[in-house]
Amino acid sequence: MRIAVFVLLLIGIGAAKGTPKTAYVDKNAALGLVSQYSRAKSWALKGMVLLSLGPKWHPAAAGIVTKSLESRDKRLRAYALEVLKHTDGDALRRVATREMVGALVDAQRSTNDYYGLRARKVLEVIAPAAGAKTKGEWMRWWGKVGGSYEPLPWKEPSAPAVKRGPRRTVAHPFLRRVFDLQENGLELVIVIDSTGSMQPAIDQARDAIVAVVEVLGAIAPTFRVGLVTYRDDDDPGLKGSARVLAKLSRNAKSVRAKLASLRAQGGGDAPERVSHGLDKALRSRMGWTKKAAKLVVLVGDAPAKDENRAITLARMAHTNPGSILTATGKATVKPFIISAIGASSVSEKWFKKIVAAGGGSYAQISTRNRGQARRASRIVHHILLLAFGARWKSQVAEFLRIYDRYKRRKYFK
């Protein structure tokens, strides 16, 4: 299924706001990224660190790029290759070690034509004088020059260096966010309207949930997801106005099954009981933990019948999370982030007020018939964006673009 999957970082490619697109990652910053790479516990985190190298970087980072190209995880290989594809040509010829070029030539043995072609494009920049074009030509060229190959001498670029933090670490806020999720975890509860007009959005969420868990689970090893649905007052199908369908769990298949069995019906007048769904999601018996990042995502296409109550709940969860999860001793409770995905412009005005109170973001999807997989990919994109915040829109988009590109071309499942 063509679902664009997972999250994230770029200082150079799709550069973060305020960082020059041609910024140079100098030796100390490169060593900081090498340190961050060693801390990363998954392909996704390692991929994010690689993407932060940008178009110009010191050869001190060449080792982690080569290691990624040689990884058994094809996803990590894809990110390493894309980093090289977007590295400035002159800088690339100076950081391309013998081991790195050997890994690119070895990529010609891949059974995936797309990956092999991308690797050849990089080789053409590294060694234009080779005159090689095909797999066989590159392998024969390497057989002749591999033993004596050396990159061009290193020359410091004139681009401004990326600022670095203490202890040779890259103190970029996005990386700090990423590693916080790795260390402390992420918990997500989807609160979805299941009245009559919502079936297309429910189907999108159903197809997206496994992909969301695959990516966020790679970033936050203890990632858990839960599900709540709401309708209107005393809906007979829910035996009330809202129901917890799944408490927080690492079992994505179970949550997907709950979504698959959910049928949109009822509703009556336009406004729905958004606050009742939000109230169910914010109760401690959902299984929330104190130290994890906590995200609640409302998904609906109608205004809130009880707008003020929903705003109050969102504000309380964000500004006073201890009122939901009691902290003892020196323990602190990380705030809830209340975000929303609108399945119709009708809900936009009301949802934006709720997310403003809850410290979150608003995104909108289309339920028009553009292909179920494509629509599901938008759900994935928006949930990841909401998990990281609108500030990191370009980073999330770039990470997903690479993942989706290689997945669609069947380089990995």
334 plus 196 within the same structural domain:
yes
Can you give the C-alpha Rg of the chain in angstroms? Answer: 24
In a domain, residue 6? The reply is no
In a domain, residue 1? The reply is no
**Side chain identity at 59, as an amino acid letter?**
P
CATH value at residue 199: 3.40.50.410
How high is the pLDDT of residue 179? 84
Encoding tokens for residue 308?
A: 């003020």
How high is the pLDDT of residue 373? 55
Q: How far apart are the first and last CA of the chain?
A: 9
Nearest to 194 by CA among 234, 225, 238: 238
Number of other CB atoms surrounding residue 352 within 10 Å: 15
- For the chain, the residue count is 413
Can you list the residues of the chain whose pLDDT is less than 70? 1-22, 159, 161-172, 234-238, 267-270, 326-331, 366-377
358 plus 214 within the same structural domain:
yes
Q: How far apart are CA 356 and CA 348, in angstroms?
A: 12
In a domain, residue 223? The reply is yes
Residue 345 is part of which domain span? Answer: 178-393
In a domain, residue 410? The reply is no
How high is the pLDDT of residue 3? 32
Give the pTM. Answer: 0.80
Number of other CB atoms surrounding residue 212 within 10 Å: 29
- How many domains is the chain built from? 2
238 plus 115 within the same structural domain:
no
Q: How far apart are CA 389 and CA 22, in angstroms?
A: 24
Write the DSSP symbol of residue 374.
Answer: H
